[in-house]
């Protein structure tokens, strides 16, 4: 039974070839929070209302375009290889800036951090991104922390792909409280069991949080 009573609106940005789980993972947590803990209304938005084909072939239809969405209280920006092209799109950058100006928080997953950087939202802030993209984000002058997710002011950023799920759950706890996070996590049955394959902590490019997996 839904207990959603919150008038706040949470927008999830779509652009061509975004990484599916970057958006769908946080969307699942946020909509669980909406259904069971009275969380914000969740909506999708893209530059146009046409079909968006994701990185792995999933095809989705946004509910709103940049002109029809109105003001959002929260905005999540996914990543993927195509995020580097999206970060060059003046309309997308203008949309992110305009929303950030009135939003309570802006979040990114994976290489979505490069869109936030291009929009000027990471200046003077700590952030993170996918391990492959850490050198590139540092080269742009961002203070990158090799963590699963980083919260600095109104900006939340996460590492790659699945890390957005953990970030969103932490975001819910931060903004709505432990009870809301509990209800979200319990109904999603999201309890990672710690299973890992191989020794990712020994990879020469493993970020700090992955290297700590090998510490007893």
Sheet holding 41-46, edge to edge: 64-65, 41-46, 9-13, 74-77, 105-109, 155-158, 149-152
Catalytic residue among 52, 83, 110, 142: 110
CA dihedral 94→99→105→108, nearest 10 degrees, is: -40
Name the average pLDDT for the chain: 95
- Could you read off the pLDDT of 129-173 as tens digits, one per residue? 999 999 999 999 999 999 999 999 999 999 999 999 999 999 999
- Could you read off the pLDDT of 7-37 as tens digits, one per residue? 999 999 999 999 999 999 999 999 999 999 9
Say which residue the tokens 């905005």 belong to.
75
| pTM over cut 0.85 | yes
Beta-strand pair 74-77/9-13: parallel
Structure tokens at 125: 């802030």
- Could you read off the pLDDT of 76-95 as tens digits, one per residue? 999 999 999 999 999 999 99
Beta-strand pair 149-152/74-77: unpaired
**Cα(95)–Cα(117) distance, rounded to whole angstroms?**
14
**Cα(5)–Cα(2) distance, rounded to whole angstroms?**
9
Q: Is the pLDDT score of 112 beyond 50?
A: yes
Reference 126, options 202, 115, 117; nearest CA is 117
Structure tokens at 1: 């039974």
Active-site residue, 54 included: no
Reference 126, options 146, 106, 100; nearest CA is 146
Q: How far apart are the first and last CA of the chain?
A: 42
């Amino acid at each position: 039974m839904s207990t959603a009573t919150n008038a706040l609106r949470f927008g999830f940005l779509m652009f061509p070839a975004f990484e599916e789980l970057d958006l769908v993972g946080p969307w699942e947590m946020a909509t669980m929070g909406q259904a069971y803990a009275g969380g914000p209304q969740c909506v999708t938005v893209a530059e146009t209302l046409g079909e968006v084909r994701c990185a792995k072939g999933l095809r989705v239809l946004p509910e709103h375009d940049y002109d029809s969405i109105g003001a959002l209280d929260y905005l999540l920006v996914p990543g993927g290889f195509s995020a580097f092209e999206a970060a060059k799109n003046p309309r997308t950058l203008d949309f992110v800036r305009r929303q950030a100006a009135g939003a309570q928080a802006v979040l990114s997953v994976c290489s979505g951090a490069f869109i936030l950087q291009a929009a000027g939202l990471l200046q003077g802030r700590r952030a993170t991104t996918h391990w492959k993209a850490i050198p590139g984000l540092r080269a742009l002058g961002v203070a990158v922390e090799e963590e699963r997710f980083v919260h600095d002011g109104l900006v939340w950023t996460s590492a790659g792909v699945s890390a957005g799920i953990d970030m969103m759950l932490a975001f819910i706890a931060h903004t709505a409280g432990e009870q809301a996070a509990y209800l979200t996590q319990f109904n999603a049955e999201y309890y990672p069991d710690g299973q890992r394959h191989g020794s990712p902590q020994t990879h020469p490019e493993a970020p700090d949080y992955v290297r700590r997996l090998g510490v007893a």
